[in-house]
Structure formats: structure tokens, C-alpha cells
Amino acid sequence: MEPRGQNYLQFTLARFRHTMEEVYGVTVFGLKFFPYMFRRPIELGQIRKHLDDLGAKSIPLLTVVGLIMGLILALQSRPTLDRFGAGGFLPAMIALTIVRELGPVITALIVAGRVSSGIGAELGSMKVTEQIDALEVSAVDPFNYLVVTRVIACSIMLPLLTAYVDFLAIFGGFVAEWIAMNSSFQLYFTEVIQSLRFYDILPGVGKTVAFGYIIGVIGAYQGFNTSRGTEGVGRAATSAVVLASLNIIFLDMVIIQLTFLFLGTGV
């Protein structure tokens, strides 16, 4: 029994050490981004391309998710609110839930699944086929050309996509209300607008800039550190999604606490 216990301890320590090395690696990689933001050349062509690839092409999926999210939220909440005689608060509840929390997090998780894995796989493939080395020997900085452009594109695109999903989800809530209660469009959206305040919208959309940064950095880090050929590319894509999703949820928790600390609960 003792050797097995010993092995288990060694295995756990090795895993812990590996995790800490990964955390250190991704932190250094992520911090490297900031000085590069002010360094020339600024690859505007690449940023524009990635805004389209990473952002605009996520719109069909996010349209479906946004609408259905609002519909489900309204359908699930209506009976409970009615039981307490609070059915009239439904538009406000949907707006606050979506804008403060569900919209940013669901959008970030979906974009992480679609984009972070894509970045991990694309850069991983470039790494194992020596395309990143080819960039470097062409006197082009691969970090600037491949990483900075993608992280900027993700950080710009995610707030825009979140605002889009927020609107669609609130609209989805209206569709459910209209079908169930024949609510008027004007009444529903008046209540939505009246319920939202500046500090509901700003942290909700603002934190998605950080989520976009996480999606870009983790995807790129996994891609840049790919080894072992095509197997490694698959692993980079999977790790990118898992780590980006975990970090988004963790960061969301931190941002909620900070928001409550500095702006209050808003109640």
C-alpha cells in the first residue's frame, strides 16, 4: 500500500508543479501583451481580418442563443413570479438578469468555445508546421502579428457581441410575454429601460473586455506552446476552451464582488 500512496503523492506533486508552471507561463504571456499594444508596427489589416473571423462569424450562433435564452428565462420565471403576484416585474427581472450576468457570461462562454479553440488549433498547427518560425526568420515578430492582433480583436468584439446578445435575449423575453400574455411592445420595453441603470450596464458590458482578453490570450498561449504534432494541436484546442471557460467564470466572480464593493448591489 505504501508505494502506491507514495506514487500518488508524487503524481499529485508533479501535477501541481505542472499546473503552477502553466499558470506562470500564461501570466507572463498575457502580461507581454500590454507593452506590445503601443509597439509598432500596428497590424491593422490583421486586426480587421480577426474582427471578422472571430467576431462577426459568431453572430449566427449568438443570435439563436440570445433569442432562446430570453424566451426560456421568461417562460421559466413567469409562473414563479405570478405565484407571488409579481408578474409585472418580469421585464425588469429579465433585463437585469441578462444585462448584469447571463448576457456577458453566456456570450463569453460561447465565444470561448468557438474562438479560443479556433485560435489554439490554428496557432498550434502553425507551430508544429514551423510557420511561426518562418514568420520569425522573415523578421516579423510572431507575437505581434499573431497574438496581439487576435487579443485586440477579441477584446473589441466581445462587448459588441454581448450588447447584441443582451438585446436579443430581452427581445426573446418579449416574444414569450407577447405569446403568453399578449404584452405590448411599448410597455415591455419601457419597463426594461426604466429598470436598467448605468451601473447595471457598465460592469456587465465592461467586464466582457476582460473576457475577450482571456479568450485571446489563453487560445494563443495554448497554440504557441503546442508540441507533439497533430495530437498536440487537438490538445491545445481543447485546453484553450476549458481554461478560457474556467477563467471567465472565475474572473466573473471576482468582478461581481468588486462591483458590489465599489458600486453597491444596486438594490
The least CB distance from residue 10 to other proteins, in Å, is 19
Residue 265 interacts with other proteins (CB under 8 A)?
no
Closer of 137 and 267 to other proteins (Cβ)? 137
Closer of 116 and 125 to other proteins (Cβ)? 125
Closer of 41 and 264 to other proteins (Cβ)? 41
H helix intervals, the chain? 2-36, 44-50, 59-83, 90-97, 103-111, 117-128, 131-137, 142, 149-181, 185-195, 198-224, 229-263
* Grid-cell match 487576435, residue found: 150
Closer of 122 and 252 to other proteins (Cβ)? 122
Residue 129 interacts with other proteins (CB under 8 A)?
yes
The least CB distance from residue 151 to other proteins, in Å, is 18
The least CB distance from residue 134 to other proteins, in Å, is 4
Q: Grid coordinates in use for 92?
A: 425588469
Closer of 142 and 212 to other proteins (Cβ)? 142
Select from 103, 167, 233, 153 the least CA-distant residue to 145.
153
Residue 21 interacts with other proteins (CB under 8 A)?
no
- SS3 category, 138: coil
Instruction: Select the span of 138-146, 201-209, 216-224, 233-241 touching other proteins (CB under 8 A).
Output: 138-146
Q: Which residues contact 245 (CB under 8 A, 6 or more apart)?
A: 109, 112, 113
Residues 164-223, interacting with other proteins (CB under 8 A): none
Report the residue from 9, 37, 140, 179 that binds other proteins according to the rule CB under 8 A: 140
Structure-derived torsion over alpha carbons of residues 244, 245, 251, 253, reported in degrees to the nearest 10: -170
Report the residue from 134, 193, 249, 254 that binds other proteins according to the rule CB under 8 A: 134
Residue 46 interacts with other proteins (CB under 8 A)?
no
CB–CB of 178/124 below 8 Å?
Answer: no
Closer of 97 and 117 to other proteins (Cβ)? 117
Q: Grid coordinates in use for 227?
A: 508540441
Residues that contact other proteins, how many (by CB under 8 A): 14
Report the residue from 51, 136, 178, 209 that binds other proteins according to the rule CB under 8 A: 136
The least CB distance from residue 234 to other proteins, in Å, is 17
Q: Grid coordinates in use for 150?
A: 487576435
CA angle 110, 216, 236 (to 5 degrees): 80
The separation between CA 144 and the C-alpha centre of its own chain, rounded to angstroms, equals: 22
Report the residue from 3, 85, 138, 198 that binds other proteins according to the rule CB under 8 A: 138
Residue 125 interacts with other proteins (CB under 8 A)?
yes
Residue 217 to residues 11, 29, 100, 154: CA-CA distances in angstroms?
A: 28, 7, 24, 9
- Interface residue list for other proteins (CB under 8 A): 122, 125-126, 129-131, 133-134, 136-141
